[in-house]
Structure 1
């Protein structure tokens, strides 16, 4: 009977973008609301700032992820094209190069040559992409997926503190937004850690700490400028 482990590395691409988007949505929008509220404007101004932050943030996340991951994809394609040309011009040299990689990993020279020859006969470019360049299907750049995932999760994350500010206006708005946003961050960190197979407590504490720091700093800035105005 073959035992198959449940590996989670295939989740790296979308999980990173999703966690980053949701975390930024909660932290940036909550911080924006707290900072504006600390300057003591009207509830309408607070909500307007929050909605504007949600829309601008979602678009910024989508654009940033798309451009960043597209650059990675372009680099991968350039490397693959270079490897494709090398395979066409010097297949034996490429086989020797692949065999040398396996030898450095502990495979005997004769066996390394056999493995390299068989893998190249099956899928030469795929073998070199995986073992020489380090490109695999798991870590392959997917710009559209990353952009949509980031924008969607940012929107969801930003909506949480925005709804709190909407339903709890008044003197307790800052405290309610800060406290509930930290709870949202803790849950997000725990879920992300669990999905990725990492320690849940560490994941929750990490995002909660940085979220609290961001909110505290923006509250300080808002109170300073509010008094100055």
Structure 2
């Protein structure tokens, strides 16, 4: 990507890379090293996350035939279903660097240590959500943090929502009733994403 990044510095266009070249961080001009970091993040953003969002949503739909029937009968409910699926199956675990020594909730944290933010736990917090482990399509309070919050909130959250809604709409419109393949278990792995490796489905 280096040649494309460099080209935007000398011949800027109407795009995000060109805009980043014109930015300063803590009063200092942008560097190629930082630009490469930004570009890699922008390039990979939405790959693991949206794919796994789709996987968890399809897994839930496939595992709950009554819910699947309801969405088929009322496709307009897919929008709210997508939000509750994001809350119930939040899967992102972003990493942060501790900038200074601090004691937080009785835990001593040192500068430059790494911290994993377990967002799935926050979206299953019973202090925020009644019966948080239950998927509830009619849930009133559904203010989840699957996309993060504050200055680190996902830049592509609106696009991700559309992508999730479209995959649910299209699968329900194009496939007959589908279910989890009982002979081939779903497999997962953990890291910055609680990821689905394999999700075998069956339909008649």
Taking structure 1 as the reference length, the TM-score comes to: 0.32
Higher normalized helix content (fraction of residues): 1
Higher normalized strand content (fraction of residues): 2
Taking structure 2 as the reference length, the TM-score comes to: 0.35
Q: Which of the two has higher C-alpha Rg?
A: 1
